[in-house]
Structure 1
Amino acid sequence: MTDINLSKAVRSNLLSLQSTAASMAKTQERLATGLKVNSALDNPTNFFTAASLNSRAGDMSNLLDSMASGIKTIEAADNGLSSITKTVESMQSTLRQARQDKSFKTQSFTVDTAATGNVSFSGGAVGESAVNVAVGSGSGVQSTVAASADYQAPASANGQISFVYDPNTTAFSGDAVIYQFTVDGAAEAMSIIDSDISAIGDLDTSIDDIDEFVAAFNYGRDTSGSSGYTATTDGTNIIISSDTTGASSTIDVVSADGDADIGGSINHTFGIAAGTGTAGSTTDLSKQVTISNGSATATITLTSANAGSVATARSYIQSQLTAQGVTGVTVGGSGGRIDLAGAANGSNSITVGGADADDVFGVAPTVTAGTFAGTYSVDQLVQSINTNTALTGKLRASNDSGKLRIENLSTEELTVTGVGTDGEIDGTSGTTTIGGNDVRKNLVKQFNDLRDQLDKFADDASFNGINLLRGDKLKLTFNETGTSTIDIQARDADGDATSVDNSTLGITGAVDADFDSDADLDARLSTLSDALGELRSHASSFGSNLSIVQNRQDFTKNMINTLETGAANLTLADTNEEAANLLALQTRQQLSSTALSMASQADQAVLRLF
């Protein structure tokens, strides 16, 4: 390509015009972007400093989003707390309404003037165990049976006596009666003489063991003509038995020669009734008595097994009276006698009988008939019922124009026992019921419904998957390095994480019986008051956290503005200045164009030669 040669003037003007065009392009760029530093080439220091400031401002802008979300989470929890607080206040109103309500059911009863026994209360606030209140006075004459003789215990059919043998180490001394055997005072001589020694067998010159005594007793009895009695041994004791039936007998076995071979005189009454028992029988002979309290009679059979002593006889008779339904009779006595006592208020009379009553109570026991003093007046019954600690606060009695008025202080039915078919209190087993307080019962349901809603408010107070009322933790970061954070969570008085619900607030479900007593209602009101205190504490804590987050949000916004303004100061163009520059450059461009034109015209002067 052939080079084109320009004149100096043209070249100079052309360069000036190119420079002006380049400056105009930069000025137009600054006006278009608003920046005087558009790249690191424009001003490396300002460009990278501004980029750092803008980057930090951008990071803080991202934190603003999480702060805004956190604020809404706290507001959701506060909304839940507000609703829960209103619910607890409604529950308080329900309890106060129940406490003010006194529409307890009542019933009035005529009292039978001949009534005895008790009036009993069960159910309602009293519970399953009945509480008895006597309807009669206790100042009557008590019925008694005082025995006239000691108790005679039954004996076994074979009429045995048993004793420990003390062997005689003294040799025989001639033809003498060594032992004397008597029955009811009649001697039954039992002789053992020298000439009998060889006939007895093992016996040598003395009786020195149990077996030898038994052998000697039976031998001597046979040789002396005594019959009907036999000696045996169980290895420790000597047992003398009657082999036949017959009248009661007393047997004595004594040492005729003065030796204490068998511990002195042994006395025993066999107690064998004529015509009963069999030879060698081991079945106890029994004694039978009857005891009546005026309305029920017990037939009691006493044997040597269950009544061998006066102490065991008393215990067995008492157990049989209870088993056979003869109430109001107490078995006692002193020494060897058995006495009976009736009800303390004299409401029963005791009679005794039976084939063997004489052996148990004596031939002519002293009997005192019971005399009942009569039924309490209505006022006396009212006092007895109202002063019974087991009934206090559970029912209330009053005098309703001569009738006994019972007020059931419960939401459940109260059962009254001791009411006859005619509706009178007569101490019988008849029952009637007094209804419960329906208003308080309905308020129990209302209370439980409100309690259920409390937990539902807590469940629904979540935002973006976080529920501060269920123990969730909200963590917010306040700076771009993560060194400034806050943890927001519901906490108890000890600072431990907790939830806000019925369980942590101590609000338990109610049953009808919980609304029976004003004291129980007051206790629940106290619990709700404590719950409100906890709710206000949580609300205060969340409010404080909300204030911290909002303040931090405002601070972050201001910091972002500061950072962005600082970056702008380093990179933004002055549009007024750049506009003036552009105008100047445009003027310069026009002048350069004119100068270039003039220079070109000078070069064209040569054409005039042609």
Structure 2
Amino acid sequence: MATAISNGVRSSLASLQTITAQAAAVQNRLATGKKVNTAVDNPVNFFTAQSLNNRSDQLKGLLDGISNGIQTVQAASKGIDGITKLVGSLQSTVKQAQADAAQNRPTVVGTGTTLATASEAALTSKSLKDIALDKRVGSAGDTTVATATASSAGDLGIDTTATPALNIQIVTNPAAATSTTNISVALTANTTVRDVVNAINTSGVATAFVDEKGLLNVKGTGSETLGVGIGVGADAAAATTASATGTSNTAFGLAATDRTTGIASSGVTSATRSNLIEQFNTLRTQIDSLAKDAGFNGVNLLQGDKVTIAFNEKGGKNQTKLDIQGTNLTSDNIGIQQAGNAQVAGTINFQNDSDLEKATTALTNALTSLKSLSSTFGANLSVAQTRQDFTKDLAEVLSTGASNLVNADANEEAANLLSLQTRQQLSQTALSLSSQSDQAVLRLF
């Protein structure tokens, strides 16, 4: 059976219930920190915030992959830095070898006495070396050798009118003509043996000097067989043709076969250079080892691996990503050959100055390649780090946007709760007064 209550009590009770419900809602907002806890509270804000939070979580999930990609690139970059230092050490090793004179350079040595004789020394009171260097190559209409005297330097008997061009041909491995260099000299009545020696020395392919015996010496810069041919002619072309067979070799005290057959290396090796070979090869091996160890989490960009870094949560054509293709970095691939003590194809002969010079060039080119590779990785690393920062910021923006839609203002809700509590107390007082009014009626009986 329902209990009848007065209108005043009913009104006060309804007001109190409403205030209590509102206070409970405010307390829930304060407890959860959200003003929209379910779709019932605000469907638009609830589902929009949920979508924003989902995307934010997906982007945050990508950060681990981006971080791993960055570390992989950094590992490769550190590997390149280490390899660059090793190449620098290889350069130092080659320089040490170059600082020690090669012992196996072939030398073409004059065997005759054409350039200077003891009788000339007696007539001039000069050394055989100076007599030979001061002798003229020839003169106009000359066809016979002129002896040096106290008043004349003498000459080698070459007609500078009929044959005003002289050519010296320096050949590496004459049988195969591995390398041929032609050195031209214009002949005049004042051209001396000293001028010919200087022309050879400035060529860079050989060195020449006259020894104390007055004999012409031409020394190669490498260890290969050396051929030297001297020829004269009416013009440069004719002189070059003549030098190919060494037609004027005998005029300078050389054998005609010194051009066609050449002089082989002595075969003597430098102990200092030999000792540096092991050091060079050890450093070369370390390049390969370091490249193999420059991986991260099983991926090594210096061993030809590829790393893909995803920057957004989408798939297929809509996915934003960065593909970084590595390279197989080995000492062979950057042009650094193994060192040895002999002339073998594909190796550096440490006894050969030419090979050491080629090795110097190869090491410089290797550093250029490493610098280029490092620059490429650096650019990719910059992109990945920029996208990492962007992804972090974007995820934060999405989370903040979602929070703005559903989070409650703690200050505002606290003020509301205080107001509701005050109203609740007033409603309770009103209810009490309404009850007392009803009770007053009972006093009449």
- Do Structure 1 and Structure 2 share a fold, with TM-score over 0.5? yes
CA distance in 1, matches of 2:99, 2:357: 11
1:484 and 2:317 matched: no
- Secondary structure of 1:564's partner? helix
**1:107-139 per-position Cα deviation (integer Å, ceiling 9, x unaligned):** xxxxxxxxxxxxxxxxx788xxxx9999999xx
Choose the corresponding residue for 2:422, options 587, 599, 608: 587
**1:345-391 per-position Cα deviation (integer Å, ceiling 9, x unaligned):** xxxxxxxxxxxxxxxxxxxxxxxxxxxxxxxx9948x768969x975
C-alpha distance 528-103 of structure 1, shift in aligned 2 (>3 A): closer
* TM-score between both structures, scaled by the size of structure 1: 0.46
Q: Which amino acid aligns with 1:505?
A: I
- Secondary structure of 1:502's partner? coil
Q: Indicate the residue corresponding to 2:84 in structure 1.
A: 85
Q: Indicate the residue corresponding to 1:533 in structure 2.
A: 368
1:466 and 2:295 matched: no
Question: Any residues of structure 2 matched to 1:222-241 within 5 Å, and which?
Answer: none
C-alpha distance 93-384 of structure 1, shift in aligned 2 (>3 A): closer
* 1:508 CA displacement: 1.6
Question: Any residues of structure 2 matched to 1:398-409 within 5 Å, and which?
Answer: none
Moved over 3 A (4+): 131-137, 377-380, 382-387, 389-393
Q: Judge conservation of contact 1:458–1:501 (CA < 8 Å) in 2.
A: yes
- Secondary structure of 1:475's partner? strand
Q: Which runs of 5+ in 1 are unaligned?
A: 105-123, 138-376, 394-408, 415-434, 491-497
Q: Judge conservation of contact 2:102–2:269 (CA < 8 Å) in 1.
A: no
Q: Judge conservation of contact 2:30–2:413 (CA < 8 Å) in 1.
A: yes
- Secondary structure of 2:418's partner? helix
* 1:520 CA displacement: 0.6
C-alpha distance 4-29 of structure 1, shift in aligned 2 (>3 A): same
Q: Which amino acid aligns with 2:368?
A: G
More strand by share: 1
Choose the corresponding residue for 2:380, options 545, 560, 583: 545
* 1:67 CA displacement: 1.0
* 1:559 CA displacement: 1.3
Q: Which amino acid aligns with 1:451?
A: R
C-alpha distance 602-89 of structure 1, shift in aligned 2 (>3 A): same
1:24 and 2:48 matched: no
CA distance in 1, matches of 2:219, 2:386: 66
* 1:3 CA displacement: 2.4
RMSD: 2.9
- Secondary structure of 1:38's partner? coil
Choose the corresponding residue for 1:598, options 417, 426, 433: 433
Question: Any residues of structure 2 matched to 1:101-500 within 5 Å, and which?
Answer: 101-102=100-101, 104=103, 379=213, 391-392=225-226, 414=267, 436-482=269-315, 483-490=319-326, 498-500=327-329
CA distance in 1, matches of 2:411, 2:110: 113
Q: Indicate the residue corresponding to 1:52 in structure 2.
A: 51
C-alpha distance 562-12 of structure 1, shift in aligned 2 (>3 A): same
Q: Judge conservation of contact 1:455–1:502 (CA < 8 Å) in 2.
A: yes
Q: Judge conservation of contact 2:291–2:329 (CA < 8 Å) in 1.
A: yes
CA distance in 2, matches of 1:62, 1:384: 77
1:510 and 2:350 matched: no
Q: Judge conservation of contact 2:59–2:313 (CA < 8 Å) in 1.
A: yes
**1:310-342 per-position Cα deviation (integer Å, ceiling 9, x unaligned):** xxxxxxxxxxxxxxxxxxxxxxxxxxxxxxxxx
C-alpha distance 390-550 of structure 1, shift in aligned 2 (>3 A): closer
- Secondary structure of 1:504's partner? coil
CA distance in 1, matches of 2:224, 2:359: 23
Q: Indicate the residue corresponding to 2:410 in structure 1.
A: 575
* 1:503 CA displacement: 2.2
Q: Judge conservation of contact 1:507–1:528 (CA < 8 Å) in 2.
A: yes
CA distance in 2, matches of 1:510, 1:50: 68
* 1:608 CA displacement: 2.7
Q: Indicate the residue corresponding to 1:37 in structure 2.
A: 36
CA distance in 2, matches of 1:103, 1:82: 33
More helix by share: 2
Q: Which amino acid aligns with 1:578?
A: E
- Secondary structure of 1:505's partner? coil
CA distance in 1, matches of 2:26, 2:19: 10
Q: Judge conservation of contact 1:515–1:521 (CA < 8 Å) in 2.
A: yes
CA distance in 2, matches of 1:49, 1:450: 61
Larger Rg: 1
Q: Which amino acid aligns with 2:292?
A: D
**1:262-286 per-position Cα deviation (integer Å, ceiling 9, x unaligned):** xxxxxxxxxxxxxxxxxxxxxxxxx
C-alpha distance 584-378 of structure 1, shift in aligned 2 (>3 A): closer
CA distance in 1, matches of 2:224, 2:421: 113
* 1:581 CA displacement: 0.9
Q: Indicate the residue corresponding to 1:566 in structure 2.
A: 401
CA distance in 1, matches of 2:100, 2:212: 28
C-alpha distance 569-17 of structure 1, shift in aligned 2 (>3 A): same
Q: Judge conservation of contact 2:108–2:219 (CA < 8 Å) in 1.
A: no
- Secondary structure of 1:474's partner? strand
C-alpha distance 386-473 of structure 1, shift in aligned 2 (>3 A): closer
Q: Judge conservation of contact 1:103–1:439 (CA < 8 Å) in 2.
A: no
Q: Judge conservation of contact 1:36–1:573 (CA < 8 Å) in 2.
A: yes
C-alpha distance 555-10 of structure 1, shift in aligned 2 (>3 A): same
Q: Percent identity?
A: 50
Q: Which amino acid aligns with 2:39?
A: A
Q: Judge conservation of contact 2:102–2:353 (CA < 8 Å) in 1.
A: no
Q: Judge conservation of contact 2:83–2:291 (CA < 8 Å) in 1.
A: yes
* 1:460 CA displacement: 0.7
Q: Which amino acid aligns with 1:539?
A: S
* 1:44 CA displacement: 0.2
